[in-house]
Amino acid sequence: KTDIVFSNSGHEHNIFYDIHIFYYLWYGTPQMDRGYIHWDHVLVPHWDPKIAASHPKGRHSPPEDIASSFYPELGPYSSRNPSVLESHMEQIESSAAGVVVLSWYPPGVADEHGEPTEDLVPAVMDAAHRHRIKVTGERYGELFLLNNICVFIIVFTLVYINVFTYTALHVLL
């Protein structure tokens, strides 16, 4: 277990909106989802083929072996679990980070290891608001800088999930 290096606890603690934390909604467990999602993805091969040949192949096998460099204190969790979301927002608030950056895909789209997550955004917006945290988005690997991203699809997605009604929305200009 890692000791807390910095804690911004107390009733009147500050939140810094120039500190951003990337947050992914793509994790799943058999208890809340159709199985382990993202915790069990394929073992990433070494970039050097000579070294890769001696490494294991296949998939991670949760709950002990997960696709993460660090084992979460909560264990493998589902992003759909409201108590996990609340715990994460409490931890982010106590870190003093003021903005959560959500990984973004258009409605109904996910990467090859996951499932669509746009239905989770309203719960994130509500939880973030309760903890004075703002929320913005990134297209997987690209902040909303409009390079190689269709503006229409971004706006459609934001309207589709109705984020403009949330005070937790954080717009990067």
Q: Is the separation of the CB atoms in 100 and 141 below 8 Å?
A: no
**16-165: what CATH class?**
alpha beta
Cis peptide before 107, with omega less than 30 degrees from 0? no
How far, in Å, CA of 158 to CA of 26, rounded? 18
Higher pLDDT, 45 or 156: 45
pLDDT tens digits, 42-54: 998 899 999 999 9
pLDDT digits (tens, 9 = 90+) for 19-28: 989 899 999 9
Highest mean pLDDT among 15-24, 101-110, 148-157: 15-24
> Residue 152: pLDDT band by 50, 70, 90 thresholds?
very low
pTM, entire model = 0.76
Q: Is the pLDDT at 141 greater than 70, yes or no?
A: no
What percent of the chain lies above the pLDDT cut of 90? Answer: 47
Average of per-residue pLDDT across 102-114: 80
The residue ranges of every structural domain in the chain are 16-165
Residue 171 or residue 47, greater confidence: 47
Position 2 pLDDT exceeds 60: no
Average pLDDT of span 26-38: 95
More confident residue, 123 or 7: 123
Residue 92 has pLDDT above 90, yes or no: yes
Contact 101, 65 (CB under 8 A): no
